[in-house]
A and B are shown apart, each in its own frame.
Chain A
Amino acid sequence: MAENQEPRIGVFICHCGTNIAGSLDVNAVMEYARSLPNVVVADEYQYMCSTPGQNKIIDAEKDYDLTGVVVAACSPRLHEPTFRTATAEGGLNKFRFEMANIRDQNSWVHMHDWEGATEKAKDQVRIAVAKARLLEDLQPKSVPVEHAAMVVGAGVGGMQAALDLANAGIKTYLVEKDPTIGGRMSQLDKTFPTLDCSQCILTPKMVDAGRHPNIILETYTEVENVEGYIGNFDITLRKKARGTRDGAEMVAAGLEGSGCNGCGDCASVCPVIKPNPFEMGMAPRKAIYIYHPQVMPLQYTIDFDACVKCGLCKDICGTEKNAIDLEMTDSLEKVKVGCVILATGYDLIPIEDKTEWGYRRYENVITGLEFERLICASGPTGGHLIRPSDGETPMKVGFVLCAGSRDNTGGVGKPYCSRFCCMYSLKHAHQIMEKIPGAVPYLFYMDIRSFGKMYEEFYYRIQNEGAKFIRGRVAAIEEDPITKNLYVQTEDTLLGRPVNVECNLVVLAAAIQPKPDAERIRQMFGVSKSQDGWYLEAHPKLNPCGTTTAGIFLAGVCQGPKDIPDTVAQAEGAASAASIPIHQGEVQLEPYFAQCVEDLCAGCGMCVPQCPYGALSLIQKDDRQVMTVTEAKCKGCGTCGGFCPGGAIRMQHFTSPQICAQIDSFLLNPLGGEE
C-alpha cells in the first residue's frame, strides 16, 4: 500500500445467529456503515467467524483494495485472532484489523431495546471505523527462550511436571521448600478408589525425579526473587541452611569427607525432640531429622530453630563423612529459565476456628490428614487406629464431611467444594471396617460427590460394606467429659428429624485453602488469584494450565481443589504447554509495547516508577539520558504513555491520534455522513 493513500475501509456486521440479530437491526447498521467516510464496502453475515464469513473479508480486501478491516461482532477475546488471520490472508498486515464488540457490550445488555441497541451499534461501528482509518502496519517481535524450566513445589503435581519436562529434554529446576520431595501425597496411606498404597506408587516417581539427569533437585529451597519475562526469567533461590552436605556438595566446597549418606547416627544421639510435622505433630523427631524413610534426597536436615549446637551429631558423624556443618548459613543462587510451573499445593483450614466441632478442644476429634497418619503402617501407631484420649480402639467413628467446605457463613468457612473429602472419607470408612472387625463408620454428609472414573462404584462398595450414611450438616459435636465419647448432633434431612449419634472418634474432612506463602509466590510471579485465593488460570475451560502472565503455568491444587488424577493430568498439561515456547526457542510478542520518541524525551525518569511491569529504564545516549523500553516486559498497558509530561511515549496500536479520532467520532459526528 502506498504511503498517504486515502484509507479504504471494509465493514462486516455479524448476526451471531440471534445473539446480535435478535436484538438490533443488522441491516440498518450495515446501511449506516456505508454512509461513513472512507468505507468502501459494508456487508453482513450470519456467522462472520465461519469459513464463508472469513472469505468475505479476504475477497473484499482484494476486490476493494482495502487498507483496513472492521468486524462488528462478539468480543476480541474470542475472535480477534480469527479475524486477524483472515485479514492477513487477504494480504493486509494483521494489525490493520479493528473489532466493534456489538454483542457482549450491546445486544446482550440491551436485549429488550431494539431501537437503542441499533443506535448504539451504529456508534460502535463509527468509532471503530475512525480508528481503522489510522491503523498502521506493525511487526511482532520475537525474543529467544532459555532452554530450561522451573517447577515450584515438588508434590505429585510438581514432580510429574518436572519429569515430563525433563523427559522432553529440558533442563528443569525442581524447587521444594521442605527437606524432601513428595508433598501431601506421601502423607496419605491409601489412594481412592484403587486403594493403592500411596507411598508405594509415589516413591518410584520420587526416585525418578531425584535421579533424572535433566532434573536439578533444589530441596529445602525457596524462591527469593523473580525478574524477567517469558523466555528469560532470572530467578534467585534461597537455599536454606540444611546443616549437612551430600557428596556432591562436599566436592563442590572442596571439603574432605564423603558427605551425608543418610545413616541416621546423628539423629540417634541428638538430645532435642520436636513434633514431626510430617506426622501432623503426632510423632517426635530430633533436631536433626528426616521426615520418613523414603525421603528424597536421603539427607538429614538440622532444624536450627531447635538445635542447641551440642555437637554430638558432628562427633558421631566423624571425619570420614564430615557431613555436618553447624555454622552453615543460607545461600543464594541465581538461575535462568524460559518457563515456570507453579505447583504449590494446599493446607487444611484452621478447623479449630469452627468451634462448634471442638477440634483441639476435644482430644478425640481429629482431621482427615491425622487419620491418614494414624491408619498408615509407617505412621506413629504402626497403622493401629486409636483414640488419642486413651489409646482405645474406636468402634464407632463419625466422619463429618464438608467440614468448612461449601460453607457460606464466612469466617474460616469456604464456599467452594474441596472435591476430594467425600472420596477420602469413603476410603477411611472402608479402612476402619477392614482393619477393625465390627467397627461402624457414620458418614455425615450433605451430598456425596463421587464424580470420577470408578468413584461411584467405590461409593456403592462402601455402602454395601455397611457404612452408615446420614444426610445433614453437623450442627455441633459435644464431648462427654467422663467417657470422652462424642455426640454428633445433626438433622437427618432424609427422615426430617434431629439425630444425636454417640461416636468414639470423629474425623473432620476439613476444607482446604492455599498455603500461607502462596500469596508471596503469586505476587513474585505476577499471577492473578481468584476470589478464594487460588491461583487464577488464563481461562477456566480453554486455558486451564496457563496464566495471564506469559510463561507461567499452573499444576495441581494451587489452582483449585483437585484429587491426584486431576493434579497429574494438569501437571502433564502444564509441562506440555511450558515446553512449547522452550522448544520453539523463541516467542513472538504482540507489538503493543510502548516506544520512546527520543527527540521528545527529556530524560526526567518520571515514567520509570509508574510501570507496573518494570519495563522502563533510563539509558545514557549522546550526552543525555533517555528512557528505553524492554519490549518483552511491556504489556502495553499505557500507564507510562498517559503519564509522560512531554508526550514522548508512543503506545503502538493505541496512538494518541487513533484514540483522539475515536473520541472525536463519538462526540462530533453522531449522525454519520461526511465530516
Chain B
Amino acid sequence: MSEHFDHSYAFFLGCIAPNRYPGCEAAAIRTSAKVGIELLPLKGASCCPAPGAFGAIDLRVWYAMAARNLCLAEEMNKDIALICNGCYKSIWEVNHKLKHDDELRDQVNEVLAEIDMEYKGSIDVWHLAELYYDEKICGVKKIADSVVRPLDGTKIAVHYGCHLMKPGKDRHFGDTEHPMWIDELVGALGAEPVQYRNKMQCCGAGGGVRGYDILHSLDITNEKLINMQEAQADAITEVCPFCQLQFDRGQIEIQENFGQTYNLPVLHYNELLGLAQGMSPSELALDLHAIDCKPYLEKII
C-alpha cells in the first residue's frame, strides 16, 4: 500500500511500548500512516528519562537527558511525536521549560557542550493522540473516515493519565479537569465512551508509586477498575503504555493480592484504532497482553 504523507515527525519510542507492548509501537506507525502522518525513527534516542524516577532524584539529570533527545530531533529538523504520557511529561515539559527559561537553558547547554550538542528550542513535541485530534494535522473526522471495521456496540472506559493532563496550568488542552477529546476520538471509531466515577484519578503506577509501594499502587488501580466495571465497560483504553501495563498486568497482581477478578481487556488507543482500521489481532500483538483481549474482539470481529 503506498501512503501519502502530509506531515512527518521524529517518533520517540520510549521504553515500555517496544519492550512490553510491541503492538503499541507497530500500531502507531501503521495507524498514523493511514491518516497522512509519517513517523520517522529517532535514532540514538535514550530513555525519555522517566519523570518520576529521574526527576524525583535529580532535576538537572532529567533536564539534560530529555534535552539530548530534543537535540536529536532538532538535528532531523522534525517535531517529536510520542505515544506515552511519561515520555510526554519529560520531553514536552522539558522543551516547554527550556523555551521559557533562559537561565535553565544555559545550564543545560553547558552540560550538552561536553558531547558537542546544543539545545536550540527549534521544535515542538506532540502526543500522537493530540495530533489525531488536531484539526490542522488530522482531526476526528479523518480518524472516522479511516475506519473500516467500526467498533459498534462496545463500551470503552477512557483513561487520560496524569502526566498528559497535569500540571494543568502548563498544558494547552483547555479543560484538564474534565477533558473529553480522547472520548471523542474513541467515539469516532464507533465505540461508546462510557463515563465512570473518578475518571481523572491516577492509574496508580506513575510517579514511582508502582516501584515504591506496589500494594498501594494496586489499591488505586483496583478502585478505578471497580468504577469502570460499574459503568459496564467492555474494555479500557489509554494513551500511555505505563498506564496500560498497570491496568493490564495490574489485574493479575490484584487477583493475586486482593482476590478480585475483572478480566477487562486493556488496549492502547493506537491498538483500538488499528483494530478499527482493519489490522488483525496478531499484527497488533494482542496475544502479548496479560488480560485476554478475546472477549472484546469477539464483540467486534
Contact = CB atoms under 8 A, between A and B. Distances in A.
A485 to B, nearest CB: 9
Given A409-B169, A487-B197, A487-B198, A481 B231 contact: yes
A482 B230 contact: yes
B177 interface: yes
Given A409-B169, A481-B231, A482-B230, A358 B197 contact: no
Nearest to B175: A355
Interface in A383-415: 409-410
Contacts of A355: 175, 177-178
A453 interface: no
Nearest to A485: B197
Interface string B207-236: 000000000000000000000001100000
A211 to B, nearest CB: 51
A361 B175 CA distance: 13
A119 interface: no
Contacts of B198: 478, 487
Nearest to B195: A481
Nearest to A486: B197
A296 B196 CA distance: 49
Contacts of B178: 355, 358, 361
Nearest to A480: B197
Nearest to B178: A355
B76 interface: no
B229 to A, nearest CB: 12
Contacts of A482: 230-231
Contact of B200 (A361, A409, A476): A476
A37 B166 CA distance: 70
A410 B168 CA distance: 12
A476 B231 contact: no
A354 to B, nearest CB: 8
Contacts of A476: 177, 200
Contact of B196 (A358, A361, A481): A481
Contacts of A487: 197-198
Interface in B157-202: 169, 175, 177-178, 195-200
A478 B177 contact: no
B197 to A, nearest CB: 5
B177 A356 contact: yes
Nearest to A355: B177
A631 interface: no
Contacts of B195: 481
A372 interface: no
Contacts of B169: 409-410
Contacts of B199: 478
A479 interface: yes
B177 A479 contact: no
A631 B102 CA distance: 54
A356 B165 CA distance: 13
A410 B170 CA distance: 13
Nearest to B179: A355
Interface of A: 355-356, 358, 361, 409-410, 476, 478-482, 487
11 contacts: A410-B169, A478-B197, A478-B198, A478-B199, A479-B197, A480-B197, A481-B195, A481-B197, A481-B231, A482-B231, A487-B198
Given A355-B175, A356-B177, A481-B231, 10 more contacts: A355-B177, A355-B178, A361-B178, A409-B169, A476-B200, A478-B198, A479-B197, A481-B197, A482-B231, A487-B197
